[in-house]
Each structure stands twice: as C-alpha cells, then as structure tokens.
C-alpha cells in the first residue's frame, strides 16, 4: 500500500536551484516513489548558525511503497550523491532532505522521527507545505499545516519569501 509522504528540501550552497532540481529528479527517477506535487520555492534567511547564505526551500508530496527505513535511506543517498557534508550544526549544505510526514503515522526511533520534531516551528517548512497540503493533519499536534503556519509569530514568517521560482524553473 502506498503512503503519502511530505519531504522538505533545502539548499544554500551554489547552485542552490540545481541541488533542488537534482533532489526532485531523484524522487521522480525512483520507481518506488511518485511525485504528486511540488511547492513553490521559497528563499529563507538561515536559522541557528547565521554566517551563511540564504536557503532555497521547497516541499514535495510523494507517494511511495518504501518502508520508513528504506525511504530514510533513499533520502540520505540523495544527500550523499550531492556531497552533503555535516560539519556545523544548522550550517551550510548542498541539499537537506527531511521526511516531515508519512501518512498520519508517528515514528520515534533512533534514526527517524515523524512527524519531523521541529516542523511546526519552521515557517520555511510550513509555508511551502501549506501551499500544497495545507489541510493535512499533523499527528500528535492535532492541527492542520495551515493552522500551524497561522500560529507562528509574524517575525518567523517574515524571514520566508517566495523566490519566484517553481518546478518549471527546475
């Protein structure tokens, strides 16, 4: 049975747009994943570690037969293929591929937490997610993605702006 999955993508090392394009292409090229929808691309100021370039962020809705563990492994392979290096927490990256939601499941293992534990705090995740699946419920929070976005402080939302790019630009 196929699961509906929400994936967040982010990049702030040039070429940011190419890194997003390659990640989406990897999902499209995997016979076990079907890209249902892609959000507009947003530009976002960095959080945590500030001495870095702005990010491009987007969200992808996929359907897949992969187990959660196999999906995580596939997401990590996308990061490895794009030479993701983890040297500074919240630091620069070629690509970040995060599993946000898998159906209405709650998963809490050493390797994977779903829903993503900080998605409800991040406008750079909620803005693009609301564009394509705003009425999805987030398990454990019992609120829709749109309601979580509405609840964020305005200052958090002000750090996220539509980049004027869409999948067609990819």
Q: Report the C-alpha gap between 165 and 157 in whole angstroms.
A: 18
Tell me what the mean pLDDT of segment 124-139 comes to. Answer: 97
Structural domain that includes position 109? 3-169
Please report the pLDDT score of residue 93 as a whole number: 81
Cα dist from 102 to 64, 112, 149, 167, whole Å: 10, 11, 19, 22
Please report the pLDDT score of residue 90 as a whole number: 65
Computed over every residue of the chain, the mean pLDDT equals 90
Please report the pLDDT score of residue 81 as a whole number: 78
Minimal CA–CA distance to 139: which of 167, 120, 152, 121? 120
Q: For the domain that residue 136 is a member of, what is the CATH number?
A: 3.30.70.560
pLDDT tens sequence across 75-115: 999 998 776 666 666 667 889 999 999 999 999 999 999 99
Q: Which two tokens stand for residue 68?
A: 């959660």
pLDDT tens sequence across 3-44: 999 999 999 988 999 999 999 999 999 999 999 999 999 999
pLDDT tens sequence across 118-130: 999 999 999 999 9
Please report the pLDDT score of residue 120 as a whole number: 96
Please report the pLDDT score of residue 163 as a whole number: 85
Instruction: Look up the pTM and report it.
Output: 0.92
Please report the pLDDT score of residue 94 as a whole number: 86
Q: Would you please indicate which residues are annotated as catalytic (active-site) residues?
A: 84, 93, 96, 98
pLDDT band of residue 164 (cuts 50, 70, 90) is confident
How many domains are there within the chain? 1
Q: Is the separation of the CB atoms in 43 and 29 below 8 Å?
A: no
């Amino acid at each position: 049975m196929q699961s509906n999955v929400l994936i967040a993508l982010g990049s702030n090392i040039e070429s940011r747009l190419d890194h997003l394009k390659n990640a989406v292409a990897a999902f499209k090229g995997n016979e076990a994943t079907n890209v249902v929808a892609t959000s507009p691309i947003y530009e976002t100021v960095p959080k945590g570690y500030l001495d870095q370039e702005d990010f491009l962020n987007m969200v992808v809705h996929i359907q897949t037969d992969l187990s959660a563990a196999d999906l995580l492994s596939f997401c990590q392979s996308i990061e490895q293929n794009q030479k993701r290096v983890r040297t500074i927490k919240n630091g620069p990256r070629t690509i970040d591929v995060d599993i946000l939601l898998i159906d209405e499941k709650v998963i809490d293992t050493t390797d994977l937490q779903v829903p993503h534990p900080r998605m409800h705090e991040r406008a750079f995740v909620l803005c693009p997610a609301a564009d394509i699946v705003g009425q999805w419920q987030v398990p454990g929070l019992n609120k829709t993605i749109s309601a979580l976005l509405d609840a964020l402080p305005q200052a958090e939302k002000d750090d996220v702006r539509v980049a004027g790019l869409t999948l067609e630009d990819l």
